[in-house]
Amino acid sequence: MMQVLPIQSCATTKEFLSSGKLIVLTGPSGVGKGTLMRSLLQRHPELYYSVSATTRSPRPGEINGENYYFISRNKFEQLVAEGEFLEWAEFAGNYYGTPRENVLNQVQSGKLVVLEIELEGARQIRASFPETLSIFILPPSFEELEKRIRGRGQDSEEAIARRLQRAKAEIQAANEFNIQIVNDDLETALQAIEVALFG
């Protein structure tokens, strides 16, 4: 189940995106999206990273308000009902959603706004904002992806199995995205993202 609400404050999505730009970064869990995002934000502090809300429990070291807004299922469902999410989806047994207002304000104030979200959410964003630049991060191989998820050492066996199953479906959808980047060597992948964003 997913819901996307119409933009209320803009006449057209074109008008909306003529000020700033919306970028969607998607790829299977463990491919290195978070790692790439962290480096990208360090190098380009002018980028606005949208912090999502989730019902997942924090992993060791994760900070509320920085990595995610960690909220209960009840609270999440209440926010959905109130139309507070630009998109939301269920992933591996938990809800994830992009807070609507901040993202719209930042884009309208001329910022490059990056959403690091899974496939279903990316599809909704692309449907609502066709001019979104969409980037899919691929692993060098499925074996390497599994190694990275396990190497991260922060997911249970059950969570790993769910994520690997979902990864297969996500990778098959890579061609829907404007750009596909293989995260083999981190620096090479980073530079490819920089070229996509800044030319």
| 186 binds, options ligand 5GP, ligand ADP, none, Cβ within 5 to 8 A by partner type | ligand ADP
Q: What mask of x and - would describe binding to ligand 5GP in positions 113 to 142, judged by CB under 6 A?
A: ---xxx-xx---------------------
Q: Is 106 in the site for ligand 5GP (CB under 6 A)?
A: no
Alpha carbons 51 and 99: distance in angstroms, whole number: 8
Alpha carbons 139 and 61: distance in angstroms, whole number: 25
Name the binder of 151 from ligand 5GP, ligand ADP, none, CB < 5-8 A by kind.
ligand ADP
Site size toward ligand 5GP, by CB under 6 A:
16
> Given the structure tokens 């360090």, which residue do they identify?
42
Residue 91 touches which of ligand 5GP, ligand ADP, none (Cβ within 5-8 Å per kind): ligand 5GP
Residue 21: strand, helix, or coil: strand
Do the Cβ atoms of 129 and 181 come closer than 8 Å? no
Give the C-alpha separation, 107 to 22, whole Å.
Answer: 7
For residues 136 and 157, what is the distance between their CA atoms, to the nearest angstrom?
25
48 binds ligand 5GP (CB under 6 A): no
Rounded to whole angstroms, the Cα distance separating 24 from 89 reads 15
Least separation in angstroms between CB 42 and ligand 5GP: 19
User: Which of ligand ADP, ligand 5GP, none is residue 180 near (CB under 5 to 8 Å by kind)?
Assistant: none
Question: In the set 36, 71, 79, 89, which binds ligand 5GP (CB under 6 A)?
Answer: 89
Member of 130, 186, 191, 195 binding ligand ADP (CB under 6 A): 186
Structure tokens at 99: 């807070």
Q: Of 27 and 97, which CB lies nearer to ligand ADP in the complex structure?
A: 27
Q: What is the C-alpha separation between 70 and 93, in angstroms, rounded?
A: 15
